[in-house]
């Protein structure tokens, strides 16, 4: 693996904000291999996607809480995109945007309750029509049956970490094992024996991990046992200066994270009344085999006993919950990283590495204790940012980074461009292939649009906004409240400066821009 010069956690945001909009920069310093192999005319595409994997938990993005050696390998052999932003930071909408190249209002999936209309053209169906053999394995989460795939085997809804059921075109099958391992096994089985080897392939290998509730796999249970995970500086945020929305949410580690469901601490007294998702945790754990359950229980038994004896309160309790949360989240991430290593090794062994584009991304970011939170949804940086690492031998300049402001609307146009297939003109995104080559595409956007409209879940107020290289404006139409951040001087977004006269011009400019972008991309879910 190449040595990397990585910006520190927190500083990364400042660097990214400063660099946003500039051309692709080379990193690390030193020799950068020039493309050598001739790229395949119709390359295979292996798209590995996870669920809720924040860039702050990827060492190629400067994580200070974990290492991800296989994603780092992909980064060293490909291009890391430092400024990729989702248009709507929840699972189903981001997935619909990745497929269609369109923001939520245009593809019809604005929240996790919407059903994806699989009749609309999308990445897989267009590639299938162009002669690609296509497969989807793992998390789907778009409610309708997948279209455009020659083969699909997907988790129902969120799926289960252990002994997962998979929906197929011929019915439901239960698979033995841990979901990340099983998904990888099924992907490799398809690559080895089921695909049409005469045609290029699109394989979307989409992991459930590291989605809540964070149940680690058997191979990762022993990780981080004695570690102390660094806390983010905003773990005890008081939401001062922000809109009333920030304080009104229900996604705090302190008040809204459940001991049994979220943190593997069963009630000491079985007769005690359980609340929230704790109520159904016992029944969901019942699907585990005796061996799987024993391994989980053994991992946490001593810690749980010490926790109960300590009777922690206040900030001490929050700190304990943060540690347990992060260790299980990072164990789930390590399983995904292992999967990537297995897939890269398979490509090497099959002699397909040079002919295959490999993409790693996740549907949106996540709060790893920033602002005291878990979950996503907000336009703030930790959930707005998506990881995007692309390896394409002969095209992508190995070991470089791109600061281009990208969105998940760009994924489909990029992969269609790479395959030599014209993207439908009504896609909102554009091809990042020039950026892979180290070039700045002509007339590239200078800002990105965001719109979140789900109501009720975690009590996050619907909002929309615009982010450019330095500033971010957020509107909460239902509250008639606004936030404005200078990301260069305030990368943690702690000082709302909407009413600051010094930023009056910025506020006016971005307010106009938000109206323009909302007219271009937005729906009517967030009223004026
Ligand atoms: Ca997600």
CATH of the domain at 152: 3.40.720.10
CA end-to-end span of the chain, whole Å?
51
Asked, for residue 71, whether it belongs to a domain, the answer is yes
Asked, for residue 39, whether it belongs to a domain, the answer is yes
Q: What is the pLDDT of residue 38?
A: 66
Distance 49 CA to ligand 1 centre (A): 10
The residue segments making up the domain with residue 182 are: 14-214+327-437
Q: What is the pLDDT of residue 82?
A: 98
Give the count of domains, the chain: 1
Q: Is the pLDDT of residue 410 over 50?
A: yes
Give 39's pLDDT tier (boundaries 50, 70, 90): confident
Asked, for residue 73, whether it belongs to a domain, the answer is yes
Distance 339 CA to ligand 1 centre (A): 18
| 206 three-state secondary structure | strand
Asked, for residue 268, whether it belongs to a domain, the answer is no
483 contacts 495 by C-beta, under 8 angstroms: no
Distance 316 CA to ligand 1 centre (A): 29
Distance 36 CA to ligand 1 centre (A): 36
Distance 369 CA to ligand 1 centre (A): 16
User: Per residue in 446-458, pLDDT tens?
Assistant: 999 999 999 988 9
Distance 210 CA to ligand 1 centre (A): 9
**For 499-509, what is the mean pLDDT?**
98
In 160-289, which residue ranges form alpha helices assigned H by DSSP?
A: 179-189, 244-248, 253-256, 259-263, 281-285
CA-nearest of 475, 17, 492 to 239 is: 492
- b/e burial code for range 329-364 (CB count within 10 A of at least 16 → b): bbbbbbbbbbbbbebbebbeeeebbbbbbbbbbbbb
CA distances from 210 to 46, 54, 68, 252, 299 (A): 20, 9, 13, 18, 18
Asked, for residue 432, whether it belongs to a domain, the answer is yes
Residue listed under structure tokens 């729906």: 523
Asked, for residue 75, whether it belongs to a domain, the answer is yes
525 contacts 462 by C-beta, under 8 angstroms: yes
Distance 193 CA to ligand 1 centre (A): 30
User: Per residue in 97-115, pLDDT tens?
Assistant: 999 999 999 999 999 999 9
Between CA 144 and CA 132 the distance in angstroms is 22
Asked, for residue 480, whether it belongs to a domain, the answer is no
Distance 500 CA to ligand 1 centre (A): 34
Asked, for residue 483, whether it belongs to a domain, the answer is no
Q: Is the pLDDT of residue 200 over 80?
A: yes
Distance 104 CA to ligand 1 centre (A): 15
Q: What is the pLDDT of residue 149?
A: 98
Between CA 392 and CA 386 the distance in angstroms is 19
Between CA 213 and CA 211 the distance in angstroms is 6
246 contacts 482 by C-beta, under 8 angstroms: no
Distance 142 CA to ligand 1 centre (A): 12
Note the Cα 374 to chain centre separation in Å: 14
Between CA 414 and CA 431 the distance in angstroms is 4
CA-nearest of 218, 152, 188 to 341 is: 188
Distance 143 CA to ligand 1 centre (A): 15
Residue listed under structure tokens 């904000």: 17
**HSE-CB for 141 with a 13 A CA cutoff:** 26
């Amino acid at each position: 693996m190449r040595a990397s010069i990585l910006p520190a956690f927190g500083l990364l945001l400042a660097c990214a904000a400063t660099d946003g909009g500039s051309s692709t920069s080379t990193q690390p310093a030193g020799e950068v291999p020039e493309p050598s192999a001739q790229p395949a005319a119709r390359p295979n595409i292996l798209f590995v996607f996870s669920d809720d994997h924040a860039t702050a938990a990827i060492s190629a993005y400067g994580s200070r809480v974990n290492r991800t050696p296989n994603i780092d390998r992909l980064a060293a052999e490909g291009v890391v995109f430092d400024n990729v932003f989702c248009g709507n930071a929840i699972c189903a909408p981001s997935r619909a945007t990745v497929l269609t190249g369109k923001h939520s209002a245009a593809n019809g999936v604005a929240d996790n309750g919407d059903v994806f209309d699989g009749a609309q053209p999308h990445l897989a169906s267009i590639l299938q029509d162009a002669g690609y053999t296509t497969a989807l394995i793992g998390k789907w989460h778009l409610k309708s049956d997948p279209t455009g795939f020659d083969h699909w085997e997907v988790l129902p809804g969120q799926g289960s970490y252990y002994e997962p059921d998979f929906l197929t075109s011929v019915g439901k099958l239960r698979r033995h094992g841990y979901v990340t391992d099983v998904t990888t096994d099924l992907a490799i089985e398809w690559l080895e024996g089921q695909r049409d080897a005469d045609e290029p392939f699109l394989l979307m290998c989409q992991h459930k991990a590291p989605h809540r509730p964070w149940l680690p796999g058997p191979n990762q249970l022993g990780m981080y046992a004695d570690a102390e995970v660094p806390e983010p500086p905003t773990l005890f945020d008081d939401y001062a200066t922000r809109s009333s929305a920030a304080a009104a949410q229900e996604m705090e580690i302190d008040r809204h994270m459940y001991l049994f469901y979220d943190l593997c601490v069963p009630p000491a007294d079985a007769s005690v009344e359980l609340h929230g998702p704790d109520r159904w945790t016992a029944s969901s754990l019942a699907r585990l085999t005796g061996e799987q359950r024993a391994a989980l229980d053994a991992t946490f038994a001593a810690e749980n006993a010490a926790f109960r004896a300590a009777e922690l309160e206040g900030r001490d309790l929050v700190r304990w919950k943060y540690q347990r949360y992060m260790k299980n989240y990072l164990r789930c991430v390590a399983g995904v990283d292992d999967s990537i290593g297995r897939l890269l090794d398979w490509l090497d062994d099959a002699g397909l590495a040079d002919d295959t584009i490999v993409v790693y991304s996740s549907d949106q970011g996540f709060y790893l204790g920033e602002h005291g939170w878990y979950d996503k949804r907000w336009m703030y940086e930790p959930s707005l940012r998506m990881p995007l690492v692309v390896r394409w031998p002969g095209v992508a300049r190995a070991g470089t980074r791109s600061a281009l402001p990208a969105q998940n609307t760009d994924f489909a146009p990029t992969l269609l461009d790479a395959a030599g297939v014209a993207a439908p003109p009504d896609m909102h995104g554009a091809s990042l292939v020039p950026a892979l080559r180290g070039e700045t595409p002509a007339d590239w956007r200078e800002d990105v649009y965001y719109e979140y409209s789900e109501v009720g879940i975690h009590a996050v107020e619907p909002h929309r906004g615009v982010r450019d290289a330095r500033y971010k404006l957020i509107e909460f139409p239902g509250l008639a409240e606004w936030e404005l951040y200078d990301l260069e001087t305030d990368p943690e977004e702690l000082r709302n400066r909407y009413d600051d006269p010094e930023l009056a011009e910025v506020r006016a400019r971005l307010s106009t821009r938000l109206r323009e972008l909302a007219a271009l991309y937005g729906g009517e879910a967030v009223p004026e």
